[in-house]
Homo-oligomer: A and B are copies of this chain.
Amino acid sequence: MEFELIEHLRRRIPSHSRLLLGPGDDAAVLQMADIDQCVMTVDLLTDQVDFELEKVDPRRVGRKALAVNLSDLAAMAAEPVAAVISLALPRVGGLELAVKIYEGLLPLAEQYDLAVAGGDTNSWDGPLALSITLIGKALSGHNTEQPRPLRRDGAQPGDRIILTGSFGGSILGHHFDFTPRIREAIILNQKYNLHAGIDASDGLSIDLSHIVKESGCGAILDLDAVPVSKDAQRLAAQLDDGSTSLEHALSDGEDFELILAVSPKEAQRMLTDRPVGVLLTDVGLFVEEPGLWQTDSQHGKRKLIPRGWEHKFD
């Protein structure tokens, strides 16, 4: 029963200093007087697309649904503020499923000091779908008191392409268990003059193409420098279909690492400082000519066709 679930959740969902009125009314009320610019994002996850419910603990699904949204806030270098969660639940077992989804996401919300402001929970004859909306606080950037959210459209020719972490093979588990790069993004945006950024959700090559397109420039990716994950190597070995671990790193998606555009000088400073605990790698260059290229020591510069995850309609 819906009201039974609401009562359960009202007991479980922790209070939060911003939450003047929590779940149970027609809307939540949040204290936001300190916020000049608010960022807002939504991500929808569906059964058989973003997870296979029959093969996974629903707690991991709940965690992932929140984590991918947090990764979008990381891509804006914003501080998490509040979430609302909507669940379309299968009729059979829906109540138990909802409870487990919340069990999976609540610890992550707490870890990022995120207020769980409310939700909507419906049962229906369809499969599980989860939609989570987050709002966040845009923080001041490098050398400014003003809010300076990280955007996709500021890459400049000559900028270096900097990545956090390593790429590929997320299907082996990382897409459930990854750490959204909130902390890293906030530190990097405050210490360095970041020109542009995105989180790698669709795949390194396709997400790099988003920056390039929005910024009206091009990019050359140095394949020799791409940080290929151990999972990408394991996956390439397991599949044995001729795909290389590098190809997995370029196109698997759901790495949820950051792709950043910074001036060569700032890149140098960042790579020397190493101000965050995760790997930072320089993998190439933004250029004036629109388009995407790859290069390596053996073959030189040639076109890179962005490949990755895209929702297909018929």
Contact = CB atoms under 8 A, between A and B. Distances in A.
A36 B149 CA distance: 20
Given A73-B27, A131-B120, A151 B21 contact: yes
A30 B38 contact: yes
A242 interface: no
A76 B44 CA distance: 26
B29 A39 contact: yes
A26 B135 contact: no
A86 B44 CA distance: 6
Contact of A124 (B46, B135, B138): B46
Interface in A102-149: 117-127, 129, 131, 133-136, 138, 149
Contacts of A131: 42, 44, 86, 88, 120, 131
Contacts of A47: 124, 126
Copies of the polypeptide in the assembly = 2
A43 interface: yes
> Dominant SS at the A interface?
strand
A232 interface: no
A19 to B, nearest CB: 10
Interface residues of A, number: 78
A274 to B, nearest CB: 25
A221 B291 CA distance: 68
Interface of A: 1-3, 5, 20-21, 24-33, 35-49, 72-73, 75-76, 78, 82, 84-89, 91-95, 117-127, 129, 131, 133-136, 138, 149, 151-153, 198-199, 214, 310-314
